[in-house]
Amino acid sequence: MPGRGRCPDCGSTELVEDSHYSQSQLVCSDCGCVVTEGVLTTTFSDEGNLREVTYSRSTGENEQVSRSQQRGLRRVRDLCRVLQLPPPFEDTAVAYYQQAYRHSGIRAARLQKKEVLVGCCVLITCRQHNWPLTMGAICTLLYADLDVFSSTYMQIVKLLGLDVPSLCLAELVKTYCSRLECSGTISAHCNLHLQGSS
């Protein structure tokens, strides 16, 4: 609903009114962020019909997890766009993130591991499509620790039961030579050297 403002988390103007436990709220329909909250009021007659509510429902704990997942999904999409990956790669990386996030060990993990999970899902997708990308490159983009990244990567591959081929060095060299605008002679020499060492 334009005219009501923007979501502070994602910038969307798609804000909707929602009644949560008789409390009016303005919520972003794209990411689930609560933008404004109304005043919680009850009357004496309402209090006679009250029921016990579990702690997690009363605190919105489950909604936090959902918001955290939405943030992660946005980061997966953003990383794919920064790397200029084709749209099908982005879809696959998002699907892997959603599958991984369903596991309680991932949902309960520290923020650092959830940030690394974003990169792991993108790297797995790139490796499966023989797209030349290294762990180091993603760690640099995410400001992530390589040890944490590599252990999380192996955990996700095992957890999801994925078949992920190793990185093809010849493709990586070809990509770097192309980006550095090396002459064809240098590129050919590098590839010849790689073939001789394998």
pLDDT tens for each residue of 101-115: 988 888 788 888 888
Q: Is residue 8 domain-resident?
A: no
Question: Looking at the 3D structure of the chain, how many domains does it have?
Answer: 3
Q: Is residue 100 domain-resident?
A: yes
CA angle 53, 56, 62 (to 5 degrees): 125
> Does 68 share its domain with 163?
yes
Write out the residue range of the structural domain in which residue 43 sits: 15-51
Which CATH number fits the domain that encloses residue 124? 1.10.472.10
With a cut of 70, list the residues of the chain below it in pLDDT. Answer: 1-4, 19-23, 37-66, 167-184, 186-198
> Does 122 share its domain with 153?
yes
> Does 69 share its domain with 33?
no
Q: Is residue 123 domain-resident?
A: yes
> Does 84 share its domain with 158?
yes
What does the pLDDT read at residue 8? 79
> Does 111 share its domain with 160?
yes
What does the pLDDT read at residue 20? 60
Q: How far, in Å, CA of 78 to CA of 72, rounded?
A: 10
Model pTM above 0.85: no
> Does 98 share its domain with 156?
yes
> Does 23 share its domain with 110?
no
Kindly give the residue spans of alpha helices, DSSP state H, lying in 38-183: 44-47, 55-59, 61-82, 87-101, 104-107, 111-128, 135-142, 146-160, 169-179
> Does 140 share its domain with 96?
yes
Distant-in-sequence, close-in-space partners of 55: CB < 8 Å, separation ≥ 6: 61
> Does 115 share its domain with 151?
yes
> Does 125 share its domain with 195?
no
> Does 175 share its domain with 136?
no
> Does 146 share its domain with 120?
yes
Q: Is residue 108 domain-resident?
A: yes
What does the pLDDT read at residue 1? 41
